[in-house]
Amino acid sequence: MSEHHDDGPVAAQTRHVEALLEARGLLDAVELDRALEAFLAGASPAQGARVVARAWVEPEFQDRLLADGNAALEELGLSMGGGIQPQRLKVVANTETEHNVIVCTLCSCYPIALLGPSPTWYKSEAYRARVVRDPRGVLAEFGTELPEHVRITVWDASAETRYLVLPRRPAVPVSDEAELAALVTRNGLIGTAVL
């Protein structure tokens, strides 16, 4: 400390840094808004359908998708978004004996990048509470009756981890990837429907 307590230059420097931070903050806010707009404009079930159709036609892609959802999305130029906190994508595949359903029991966590905004029923307390206790009953209310031998697993999404159901490929004579994608429904990707 100098005797005459000359903090002038320090104060000036602090103000300068503050101004820079403020300018930077505004810049970040604008960039964030722009990124968010672009993200929401692209977020729809069509993205999830693209991912699923690719997995159906390319078994190696399906393997990579199930092993590391986020990395596989990048191959298609997609990402989970999520801003500050990156979202982990876990893809769960339906089989002849396994069916998967997604929920967020706590609130409404959902893979928005791949499905767009969530439907109202997904956020309802009735769905969140009941699908865990009685998945078969809830699925039946959606018109989805699964054979008794099919085991149903309910995946509880969180801020960090989001789930996407990989439905079984419908038994139709279609092999074109875009045509296959058109067969994929939002509820099929949530697991409340089969295709």
Nearest to 87 by CA among 112, 52, 108, 66: 112
Q: Is 108 an annotated catalytic residue?
A: yes
Distance CA 86, CA 58 (A): 27
Residues 6+ apart with CB under 8 A from 185: 45, 193, 195
The reply on whether position 104 binds Fe ion by CB under 5 A is yes
- CA angle centred on 68, ends 83 and 161, rounded to 5°: 45
Catalytic status, residue 175: no
Least CB distance from residue 16 to Fe ion, whole Å? Answer: 42
Instruction: Give the one residue of 107, 126, 129, 172 binding Fe ion; rule: CB under 5 A.
Output: 107
Active-site annotation holder among 44, 108, 118, 158: 108
Structure tokens at 133: 């206790």
Q: Counting contacts by CB under 5 A, is residue 112 touching Fe ion?
A: no
CA 82 – CA 124 distance, rounded (Å) = 22
Q: Shortest distance, CB of residue 87 to Fe ion, whole angstroms?
A: 11
Residues that bind Fe ion (rule: CB under 5 A) add up to a total of: 5
Q: Which is nearer to Fe ion, 109 or 194 (CB)?
A: 109
- Residue 2 to residue 6: CA distance in whole angstroms: 7
Minimum gap (Å) between residue 128 Cβ and Fe ion: 9
Note if 107 is an active site residue. yes
Q: Is 108 or 185 the residue whose CB approaches Fe ion more closely?
A: 108
The two structure tokens encoding residue 155: 């995946």
User: In the bound complex, what is the minimum distance in angstroms from residue 38's beta carbon to Fe ion?
Assistant: 23
Q: Which is nearer to Fe ion, 62 or 191 (CB)?
A: 191
Where does this chain bind Fe ion (CB under 5 A)? 104, 106-109
